[in-house]
Amino acid sequence: MQTFGNTEWLFARTASKRAIDQSISVWTIPNTSARDITFPLLSGVRLIPSWAVLTSILLAMSAICGTTVMRSRAELRASSEQQQNFASQLQNLRDTNHTLERDLQKLTNDPSAIELAARERLGMVRANDVVVTRQSLQLSGNGNKDSLVR
């Protein structure tokens, strides 16, 4: 042993290592398994019966699936209501469009409809019509209710 020199440097070697190098050296211990390092409470978990673990997993999966189904049904219900609203709006627009097309046909082909539109919308009168304004009725009325028909 004296031929090899002083061996005290072997014992001081762990103190001079970095913390990372020291933590890596734990993995090189031959009697330590990965299960003992990662799961130190594994012995306590072994006390829980397997049926209880399986039941818990099944309950959790059922709850997740139930929540997903309920959310999907709610989204389907909301989408169907929105589709019905759009369908009713579309039907209203089609009815309005049909009415406007019918009015357009009347205004282009029917002379009485053209005359009625000119009288109501534009305030036009025929040459032989007598025009009586409300203002003239108020001035000449003096509270008497005179009939315009004679």
pLDDT in tens, 65-120: 999 999 999 999 999 999 999 999 999 999 999 999 999 999 899 888 888 888 88
The pLDDT of residue 77: 97
pLDDT of residue 116: 87
The pLDDT of residue 48 is 78
- For the chain, give percent helix, strand, coil, nearest 5: 70, 0, 30
DSSP state of 32: -
pLDDT 10s digits, 21-66? 555 555 555 566 665 666 665 556 667 788 998 999 999 999 999 9
How many CB atoms are located within 10 Å of the residue 99 CB?
A: 10
